[in-house]
Amino acid sequence: MSSSNSSKQQTYSSRQSVQGKDNGQSGSLGKPADYVYFDRNLSGFSEEAMTRAKSAQLKMEHYYKVAVDSAIERNTRRVDLERRLQSETMMSEERKNRQLQQLGKKESTFLRLKRTKLGLDDFRTVKVIGKGAFGEVRLVQKIDTGKIYAMKLLKKDEMLKKDQLAHVRAERDVLAESDSPWVVQLFYSFQDPSHLYLIMEFLPGGDLMTMLIKYDTFSEDVTRFYLAECVLAIEAVHNLGFIHRDIKPDNILIDKDGHIKLSDFGLSTGFHKQHDSSYYQRLLESGSNASPHGPVQSSRNSVMVNSINLTMTNKDQIATWKANRRKLAYSTVGTPDYIAPEIFSQKGYGKECDWWSLGTIMFECLVGYPPFCSENTHETYQKIMQWQRYLAFPEDVHLSREAEDLIRRLITSDDKRLPVEQIKRHHFFYGVDWDVIRRIDAPFVPSLRSITDTSYFPTDELDQVSDIPVVDPNAASKDLAFLGYTFKRFSTTAPAF
């Protein structure tokens, strides 16, 4: 017998002897005389063994959690369909049975899909359409189906180095939980040793920032349309139990019909959490140029808007600010122009911070630049913190009383900011039919030449890359930090393209 085994046997014997003395006799508690008490001391195991054991534990727990959750979801879908069919009194039993059988086939197909391991080689890169601090966005085509998606790649190293793990997980969770028409739909997520991948629907109309750079300002009718859709989109995120925290024109995407959807939920959080604001402090390390005031003509008729017309303004400084604004979108710094003051204060905040952001976007749509933009981010931060002093409407911009009033009721202290129901009832939104707005004609509809048209994205400013990113062969140890990231959506419908 080895020395280690001998030592363990002595331990067991001594514990058994002590137990016998305590009880008076071994059988007093119903245990046999030769019962062995194991010493659950982990001090003898190496750090590597403990790490491997913990990894195995987490993976097993996750495996069974996913299996149980999937079974519950399948049963819920079956019960929901059965209840709907029971209420269909005019439908024949044969047709009801066919629908139940169709659901069974879809469930079987989905189970096969979940067992299939997706990877980068299942997609062909068409073009890089966006870059950020931690990765890039590509237009891709799934090789087996030919369907078009937007693929967001995130570098694990950068995520861990910049302490962004909670942020990237928040984005994946929001997209996975949402089936709202106001949120970009996530179809798949997966990972390899170096990268995380989000496979989302491709929205070919670009983003609101690109439109603002191109058109300078919008009329009040056009602004009303986009603001109303943003209200419904933000409300949908709040109803999921999340705060977006990063509402800005860059994250408001335009679909093929000209309607908006929210994207980029990397800074979103649940209502019960408070952010440490360390991310936002990095916003103060780099600057952006200020812009002077710019004129705009506004009109107010109804939500049925005319097409957008380019406002012919000749403002060199506005153009300079907007050029720098584009650069900030690609940097690790970003822009603080749309961030509510309570987020910077580190004293906690609620969903009201998203309505402040909406107010700054409304100001930019009507005036041509955000209300607190400055030559650098530190000055912008100072203006936001002293918003009572710096919020001003330029004299040469003529806004309706309703528009100015709504801006002032959004860009205000969080305890006075309008909640969503009062926003919807505000006079600025008079004439908006909130239930059908997504079905009316948008003021701008992308003119697309093909399903892979990227003309509404500034791809000329981006470096194009090969199909396959560089994979770090030594990155396998990082996988545990991203356990549970994989996702496949159960859907009866195909993506837009």
State the catalytic residues.
246
The pair of three-digit structure tokens given for residue 387, joined into one six-digit string: 């918003």
154 DSSP β-pair partners: 135, 196
- Helix (H) / strand (E) element for 98: namely helix 93-115
- Distance, in Å, from the CA atom of 325 to the CA atom of 319, rounded to the nearest integer, reads 10
Token pair, residue 5, equals 């085994």
Crossing angle of helices 220-239/352-367, nearest 10°?
Answer: 160
Q: Which residues are bridge partners to 168 per DSSP?
A: none
* Distance, CA of 235 to CA of 422 (rounded, Å): 12
Q: Is there a binding annotation on residue 152?
A: yes
Q: What is the DSSP string of 128-194?
A: EEEE-SSEEEEEEEETTT--EEEEEEEEHHHHHHTT-HHHHHHHHHHHHH---TTBPPEEEEEE-SS
End-to-end Cα spacing for the chain: 69
Looking at 216-351, list the stretches that DSSP marks H as alpha helix, in order from N- to C-terminal side.
220-239, 278-281, 316-330, 341-345
**How does DSSP classify residue 207?**
B
Per the annotation, binding residues are: 152
Residues at the binding site for ATP are 152
